[in-house]
Copies of this chain bind each other. A is one copy, B any other.
Amino acid sequence: MMEAEIFKALADPTRRAIFEKLAGGRMNATALREGMAISQPAMSQHLAALRAAGLVREERQGRFVNYEVDPEGLGSIGRWLGKYRAYWPKRMDDLKRLLKDMDQ
């Protein structure tokens, strides 16, 4: 359902980098910026896009906002991928099990 936003969010290399960084552990926006040559507003906007896509979720903690990977987004991609299992390369055969479950 939210594929549009998910794929659009991941289409941007900066956003993929942010996501990857978050996969290393929850982090606030300022920490995320470290070593990333990105302005504060830009980071905020990227995080908003990732959040809207369901790829990331936030948890306010005082004046900090901690972000972390949201499994929901990954699940959506998995479900999307599943629709095309007929075309998966052999290496992905095991994925078929997943699909069976996800189809209910």
Contacts and interface: CB of A to CB of B under 8 A. Distances in A.
The SS class assigned to the A binding surface is helix
One complex includes copies of this chain to the number of 2
A98 B77 CA distance: 15
B88 A75 contact: yes
B92 A75 contact: yes
Contact of A89 (B7, B75, B94): B75
Nearest to A92: B78
A13 interface: yes
Interface string A67-104: 00111101101100101101111011111011001100
Given A7-B7, A23-B84, A77-B81, 5 more contacts: A4-B11, A71-B89, A74-B87, A91-B98, A92-B98
